[in-house]
Amino acid sequence: MQWWVVWAVLVLALLVSLAAGIWYAFRRGLAALHVVSSLGDAIGSKFAAADGVDESLPKPASFTVPLQQSIDQYSSAHAQVIRREEHKRKRHEAVWRRWGVFNE
């Protein structure tokens, strides 16, 4: 076999692997771009929802309102905390169930 044939095969292998690497990087870059754009959309929607909050009239201090109103506000806030914790617990249970059957 001639020496230049070996070099031609090596150069061809180099070019093929270089093209495959560029193709792979391009595909992974597009996938990352889609993830980043969906993340940007999610963040933008959260900021848009936060902008809709009207803070022009602040709530009065709890010691200036009747006691029953403060109790009602506290109980509704505590109920919301309990709902949020329950929702988080259910999400965690779902993830553990999914992981439990992952390797089966």
**Cα gap 33→40, rounded to integer Å:** 10
- Give the model confidence (pLDDT) of 1-58 as tens digits: 788 899 999 999 999 999 999 999 999 999 999 999 999 999 998 888 877 766 677 7
**Distances from the Cα of 22 to the Cα of 8, 14, 28, angstroms:** 21, 12, 10
pLDDT exceeds cutoff 80 at 86: yes
What is the token pair recorded at 80?
Answer: 């919301």
pTM equals 0.44
8 A C-beta contact, residue 62 and residue 70: yes
